[in-house]
Structure 1
Amino acid sequence: MGQIVGAALVSHHPGLMQTPEFRIKMGNGADSDLVAGFDRLRAKIDAVRPDTVVIFDSHWFTTGYHLYDAGAHYSGSYVSDEMPWYLYDQKYDYRGAPDLARLGQAVAEERGVMAMAIDAPLLPRQYATVNVVNALRIHEKVLTVGTCQNCKSEHFLESGEVIGEAIRRSDERVVLLASGALSHKFNGINWKQKHPRMYHPDNVSSPENVASDREAIELLAEGRHDVIIERFPGVYRKIPWEGLGGHYLQMLGAMGGATCRSRGEVLSEYENARGTGNVHMWFDPENVAMEPAR
């Protein structure tokens, strides 16, 4: 029987992939703490010894279906169509987890959830996966899960439940990674930074978003995922969180949804990236209420 051995909310923004010299310049003499946070997160992953890492990718937007990437292996060189001058020549080489993806489709079909495994060798990679794989030096198998853009919160939770059940039916030890930011409103193209350290929260798009993000971080640290779910439609979806919050909600669905009381451990400072709010947080699975197999 497979099990979830850990989970994390993790930032993937392109600035973290730049040279240390560039990052320190942007940081007014100090590097982003999210970079050191990757090492802290990797230590957490090493301690629980997973076979597979599931990445809930807030950039892989799908329509009509939740998609589970069923490729066996991926390698190449990534260039971002969003900012090719800034994020380019990112080499990647990692194993997929096709068996787990197909288990996910089987569970989805049983439950009437619109989800499928997709094995398409020419399917483009997204940097919400590539950056996390490279920054965390992931050698484990990787299953990327998309973000279906015509979904409500409950649909993301259902997709996560499917993945959780697929993990239980497998023989895999799995770490879940929700790859994305909290508030995700970019600053304008001609915006002038308010604080000399680019990563400083004063440079997040609005004080209201900073306050909302900090409140959410406190709730996550207390394990109050039920409150986060309750507030999602009226608060976090409207801010909005990156990827409609689908990265976090799917991770949470796999961990028991509103019944989950796993307390988040903050592994980095809360930082700005082009107006968005970013943080790394780790969740131990000991107090995760897992739904029994159906």
Structure 2
Amino acid sequence: MNGKIVGAAIVSHHPGLMQCEEFRRLQGAGEDSDLIPGYARLREKIQAAKADVVMIFDSHWFTTGYHLVDGGARYSGTYISDEMPWYLHGVPYDYRGLPSLALEIEAVSREMGGYNRAICHADLGRHYATVNLVKQLRLEHSDTPVVTVSSCQNCDWPAFLKSGEAIAEGIRRSGLRVVMLGSGALSHKFNNIDWKPNHPRIFHETNVSRPENIVSDKGAIALFEQGRHDTILERWEDEYRRMPWEAFGAHYLQMVGAMGGAACRTKGEPLSAYENARGTGNIHIWFDTENQPGA
């Protein structure tokens, strides 16, 4: 049986979501971030997709020279963020990996002359773009393993589409049902340290760093809803690369590359409101790859 991609999503992972509800409501002028119930909606989508494995494209795991695929058998430890250690610390994690899938993707990439490589080392450090999703989506101690893919920092953006092609073929050969999650924001321009909110609800979209970023992000969301990934890619160099998106869009580009690149017409369904996080544009968007025309 051929493996297949049974769902995909762009997912926010920002650290504020890991704070307690009381503090989030203080930040939200009495309201919680809609990204929190959005995680519950995403959990339902993943469960309904009957995924054998969840693949996370981690926009914080920067590598040089290769697109790395995390091939450890199990990861456990306690996470502390070197970026925001004053509140993102002491986070225990314990979840399964799937070495066979990572190795399959590497084999395919070598055949294609690509740059995807598996790294099978239990001591490899974690990043919160993965850990936060593992926690919020309740993938710890579950029957569903997690495989993380890096964001290679020394390649042009079309190379991410090629990485996705190798990943898709590796999935096909694996016989597995895979949900892919692009863990990262859209526009990723931070507000300055002395920034004053435009709206008392910190999560509110008007607190995103620049009006033009809001316009661009909302335009991209509308194109996702229409399934026009070709238009997104046509505008990449002149718009989305220049915003820029988090990790210069590595999380989305590898994911859409696996879904067919510019030929992909899979429509997106927002699972949360569009929100601010320290100036960056965040949203959860689900792509139902099984129930789309031509799937």
User: Is 1:75 the equivalent of 2:76?
Assistant: yes
Q: Which amino acid aligns with 2:57?
A: F
Over the aligned positions, Cα root-mean-square deviation in angstroms equals 1.0
Paired position in structure 1 for 2:243: 239
Structure 1 residue identity aligned to 2:171: I
**In the TM superposition, what are the counterparts of 1:1-294 in structure 2 within 5 Å?**
1-138=2-139, 139=142, 140-286=144-290, 287=292
Q: Which amino acid aligns with 1:82?
A: E
1:78/1:92 contact within 8 Å kept: yes
Tell me, yes or no, if the aligned pair for 1:159 and 1:250 is still in contact at 8 Å: yes
Taking the aligned partners of 2:293 and 2:107, their CA distance within structure 1 comes to 24
**Alpha carbons of structure 1 residues 57 and 288: separation in structure 2 relative to 1, 3 Å:** farther
Structure 2, unmatched stretches of 5+, are none
Partner SS state of residue 196, structure 2: coil
Alpha carbons 1:223, 1:264 under 8 Å: kept: yes
CA offsets 1:140-166 (integer angstroms, 9 cap, x no match) = 111100000112221000001111000
Q: Deviations over 1:226-263 (max 9, x none)?
A: 01111111111111000110000000011111111000
**Preserved CA contact (<8 Å) 2:160 2:257:** yes
Consecutive unaligned residues in structure 1, runs of 5 or more: none
SS in structure 1 at match of 2:121:
coil
Paired residue type of 1:124: G
**What TM-score do you get using the length of structure 1 for normalisation?**
0.97
CA distance in structure 1 between the partners assigned to 2:293 and 2:198 by the alignment:
40
Instruction: Return the alpha-carbon distance in structure 2 between the equivalents of residues 101 and 20 of structure 1.
Output: 36
**Secondary structure of residue in 2 paired with 1:234:** helix
Q: Deviations over 1:94-119 (max 9, x none)?
A: 10011000001001100011121011
Shift of 1:289: 6.1
What TM-score comes out, normalization by structure 2 length? 0.97
Give the total of aligned pairs: 290
Residues 73 and 122 in structure 2, CA contact (< 8 A), matched pair in contact too:
no
Distance 1:64 1:288 in 2: 37
Q: Distance in 1 between matches of 2:77 and 2:294?
A: 39
Distance 1:162 1:288, change over 3 A: farther
CA–CA distance in structure 1, aligned partners of residues 233 and 14 of structure 2: 25
Secondary structure of the corresponding residue to residue 84 of structure 2: coil
